[in-house]
Amino acid sequence: MSAPLLPPLPLPQRVSSRQIDSRLNGLSFHILEAGYTADRERPLIGNIRTSSSSDMLLHGFPELAFSWRKVMPLLASQGYYIVAPDQRGYGSIGTPENGLPPAASNTSIHTDLASLGQMTNPPNGLHEFLRGYFHLKSASWSKNTPHPLASWTASELTQLPYYYVMPLNATMPEAIAADMAQENPSAIQDSQSWLPDSDLEVYEALNWYRVFTNSDPTAACKRDIDIFAGKRMECPMAYISGSQDWGTYQVPGAVEAMMTKEVYADFRGLKFVDGAGHWVQQEKPEQVASGILELIRSLE
């Protein structure tokens, strides 16, 4: 099924956008690409192919291929063809030809729509909520002081900021609004330097979140993930994160587990980037590109 029509993305020079029709699953995939030249084969035309000079950048929740826009030209300038797709449920990807999952059309649709209205109309407006969410999870918020948690217990989890664990009687937008009301305007301007309003307007990930939180254990997205449950990562791996990112420590013991052969067969190191939080590839793209290139070159 065709992807939704959206305004052109505010992309940097040397990064382009296009759709790829995938007849196998009835989807239209949106990708960003950089580093393509006439004499370099594109690895994503027709059947997916790989090349020693091509690299794929995958985003997580709640981001998009667009989150890699600053890193892509840096990698491409080193001779690589770079592709970043919108993953399923995000951005400009289409919906399956057989329609949305049953949860999207069941008898509770009116309740779902009402909840959607509440989500897209938070107390200070959607734009201010997103600005606050991205700001508070970045190094621009001085109160981000992540550290390892001793255990997965309530007393330990209370150390996480409210954008992870909300106060009992507050919604996520309310928790964000309360923290932002106390923030220094100059700090907010700092986050606007790496995520201006024109870029912030690009973001959404509603469909992925709705499908992923589906309570049906037989849902397709759950089955896809379950295939890999408990499996060791066999390919070479490295971990790059902002020093001010609480996400590194939200699961106690995860960082330590990365360095064991039980989790990663070939783990090649941790890289923490000072002056960056959760959005490290947007806050400090040069350092992220350097870390990626270090991993790539260790394989050559």
pLDDT at 237: 93
User: Is 1-95 assigned to CATH 3.50.50.60?
Assistant: no
Structure tokens at 262: 């039980």
- What's the rounded Cα separation, in Å, for the pair 257 and 56? 25
pLDDT of 7 strictly over 90: no
pLDDT at 48: 38
pLDDT of 140 strictly over 80: yes
Evaluate whether 37 touches 46 at the Cβ level (below 8 Å): no
Give residues with Cβ within 8 angstroms of 41, minimum separation 6.
49, 51
Per-domain boundaries in the chain: 1-95, 123-300
Query: pTM for the complete prediction?
Result: 0.82
Q: In terms of C-beta density within 10 A (0-12 exposed, 13-18 middle, 19 or more buried), how is residue 118 classed?
A: exposed
Among the residue ranges 32-36, 43-47, 84-88, the one predicted with the least confidence is: 43-47
Question: How confident is residue 112, by pLDDT bands cut at 50, 70 and 90?
Answer: low
pLDDT at 185: 94
pLDDT at 49: 44
Q: What is the mean pLDDT of residues 268-278?
A: 96
Helix (H, G, I), strand (E, B) or coil at 222: helix
Give residues with Cβ within 8 angstroms of 64, minimum separation 6.
86, 90, 91, 202, 203, 205
Q: pLDDT tens digits for 125-138?
A: 888 999 999 999 99
